A and B are shown apart, each in its own frame.
Chain A
Amino acid sequence: MTETQIEIAEELDARGLLCPMPVIRTAKAVKALTPGQVLKLLATDRGSIADIPAWAESTGNELLDWHDEGDFLVFLVRRGQET
């Protein structure tokens, strides 16, 4: 699935922030969505490559896609039912 096929409900710019703030902000932003809606997260913290999937896994949210834009990372997170 690519970004163009997914409807983005909210965008969160966490560029420049370091651990733990990208996860903290993502958790808050996803909580504000309704189940099924998608958050687009922009981050520069390289730790996010491991942290965002781990966070999604343990919270029942779904990481649809992520990629490296070069200057920053893009993550697409779909809110699950049980967050």
Chain B
Amino acid sequence: MLDEKYVTVPATLTEDAVRAIVQEELEQAQKRDAAGKKAAIIASKGTLDWAYPPLILATTAAASGMDAAIFFTFYGLNIIHKDFEQLLKVSPLGNPAMPMPVTMPNVVLGLPGMGPMATHMMKSKFAGKNVAPIGELLEAAQELDVRLIACQMTMDVFGYAQEDFIDGVEFAGAAAFLAEARQAHVTLFV
């Protein structure tokens, strides 16, 4: 049994009081940790379906008070290209998870016209369910000050010029993304 003179904790300090102090300390620590308010996302895919997750997460992060940045690399550049409406498509080929009205073998899905049909189907399905179109999400992202960063290296490889992209896009490389990501708790590769 402890000798009473070594017990420094006052008798009035209840478990609840201790919990409250710990909670307060934790909250203050979270406030001091700026990384808790940053999201850094990589968008590497250039299809209509995969354009959604980075834009949805970044706009929601920004709307939740976080500083959000998306780094568009490789095919992800399609999403911020001025012609994103035409560039973002879906293909039923090689995607057994895509819901189709009737089951079709891959050899049929590879026929001309099947890609545009799948793209049209997805767009009208999304519009029918009232999912925001990509253009609206891009506008929301810009309104919420989400940083849209294009990967300069892949732009050079694909032969894109800065003017090919929507207004407000920044241009940078891996180091710039990492500088952002190292200060963020939320980092995602899409």
A-to-B contact residues, CB < 8 Å: 16-21, 23-24, 26-28, 55, 58-60, 83
Contact = CB atoms under 8 A, between A and B. Distances in A.
Nearest to B66: A58
A26 to B, nearest CB: 8
Contact of B140 (A19, A24, A55, A59): A24
Contacts of B63: 20, 23-24, 26-28, 55
Interface in B132-160: 132, 136-137, 140, 143-144
Nearest to B63: A27
Given A20-B59, A28-B63, 12 more contacts: A20-B60, A20-B63, A20-B132, A20-B137, A20-B140, A21-B132, A21-B136, A24-B59, A24-B140, A26-B63, A27-B63, A59-B65
B91 to A, nearest CB: 24
Interface in B57-98: 59-60, 63-65
Contacts of A18: 129-132
B20 to A, nearest CB: 18
Contacts of A26: 63
Interface string B48-63: 0000000010011001
15 contacts: A18-B132, A20-B56, A20-B60, A20-B132, A21-B132, A23-B63, A24-B63, A24-B140, A27-B144, A28-B63, A55-B60, A55-B63, A59-B64, A59-B65, A83-B65
A19 to B, nearest CB: 7
Contacts of B140: 20-21, 24
